[in-house]
Amino acid sequence: MALALLYVHIMGGLHHWSHGRDMWRHLLLEARQRGAAVVLISDDLDEVLALSDRILVMHDGQLTQAETRDRAAIGLLMAGTTT
């Protein structure tokens, strides 16, 4: 059975409740390990870097795959440029 999960801003509102953040991270990573396709939508770059295998950046409705996990390079993609 194929399973796909979509998480949108899952850590929002949990900044002061570390147990809640840990619980969601554990559930997401466990689902991924069981073969689920997990799509995480977040504006928290730390969260994206910690939980993602692949990173796509959307700017002005266009998706671009980040070729690196470098924060500065991803920031440039978020700003709509690469230089």
For residue 47, is it within any domain?
no
Domain that holds residue 10: 1-41
The CA angle 50-54-60, to the nearest 5 degrees, is 105
Q: Are residues 36 and 67 in the same domain?
A: no
Same domain membership, residue 66 and residue 36:
no
Clarify whether residues 59 and 31 are in a common domain.
no
- The reply to whether the predicted model has a pTM over 0.75 is no
- The count of structural domains within the chain is 2
Domain membership of residue 46 (yes or no) is no
The predicted-structure confidence for 5-58, as pLDDT tens digits, reads as follows: 676 766 555 555 567 777 878 888 888 888 888 888 888 888 888 888 899 999
E strand segments, the chain = 4-8, 37-41, 56-59, 62-65
pLDDT digits (tens, 9 = 90+) for 61-75: 999 999 999 999 998
Q: CA–CA distance from 62 to each of 21, 25, 40, 53, 80 (Å)?
A: 30, 27, 17, 20, 9
